[in-house]
Amino acid sequence: MVRIIEIDGMDSRLQFDVRLQIALRRNAMGIMAHSPDPARFREYIKERDLRIRKLLNTEDEDIRIVYSGREIYP
């Protein structure tokens, strides 16, 4: 079952940290798509995913993060 997490009402610093990790993850995915060695980006993306879950204090595998009514993760 998908867990939907809305970050709008959270502390502004926590919102920033979550959004930063999501931006870093998206950036890495874009670079990975054009890289001759995409495997090295997979571990970095996995680290971002773990960091996001730690920030949100969840171990759920299937999460969706919503900000300002828009899904921003995954």
Residue 33's SS3 state is helix
pLDDT of residue 59: 94
C-beta separation of 66 from 9 below 8 A: no
Query: How long a stretch of residues is the chain?
Result: 74
pLDDT of residue 70: 98
pLDDT digits (tens, 9 = 90+) for 9-36: 999 999 999 999 999 999 999 999 999 9
